[in-house]
Amino acid sequence: EIVMTQSPATLSVSPGERATLSCRTSQTVSTNLAWYQQKPGQAPRLLIYGASTRATGIPARFSGSGSGTEFTLTISSLQSEDFAVYYCQQYNNFPPWAFGQGTKVDIK
């Protein structure tokens, strides 16, 4: 079973600044990794799949990179609507489909 580790647990960022979130997997997942955004009271929304491909309608300020066991989600210039919790998920080895524990991006 693959274990997902996200860091940091909380990231405090000012609007307009860059945010860099990390996800590490206990085994290689190739590029079969997705990032989701979740706001309070809402369902998760797919942001990135294939480690680096933006989902439909996702702004270009969101970018993903990495392969194997180390992945990064970058938000180039944080907007007010980007303050949320972000989860990574691997879909290379399953079941189970594992999620990271989340990184909360809040306002500095």
Partner 1 sequence: EVQLVESGGGLVQPGGSLRLSCAASGFTFSSYNMNWVRQAPGRGLEWVSFINTRSSTIFYADSVRGRFTISRNNAKNSLYLQMNSLRVEDTAFYFCARDQTIRGLKDYWGQGTLVTVSS
Site string for partner 1, 52-91 (x = CB under 8 A): ---x-------------------------------x-x-x
Q: What angle do CA 1, 100, 93 make, to 5 degrees?
A: 30
How many CA atoms are closer than 13 Å to the CA of 13, on its beta-carbon side? 24
Span interacting with partner 1, options 10-18, 28-36, 62-70, 72-80, rule CB under 8 A? 28-36
CB of 14 to partner 1, least distance (A): 25
> Closer CB to partner 1, residue 12 or residue 94?
94
* All residues at 6 or more sequence positions from 102 whose CB lies less than 8 Å from its CB, including other chains: 6, 9, 38, 85, 86, 87
Closest CB to partner 1 among 82 and 90? 90
Which residue in the set 26, 44, 67, 69 belongs to the binding site for partner 1 (CB under 8 A)? 44
Beta strands 103-107 and 10-13 are: parallel
SS3 call for 28 = coil
**Contact range with partner 1 by CB under 8 A, out of 11-19, 20-28, 29-37, 68-76:** 29-37
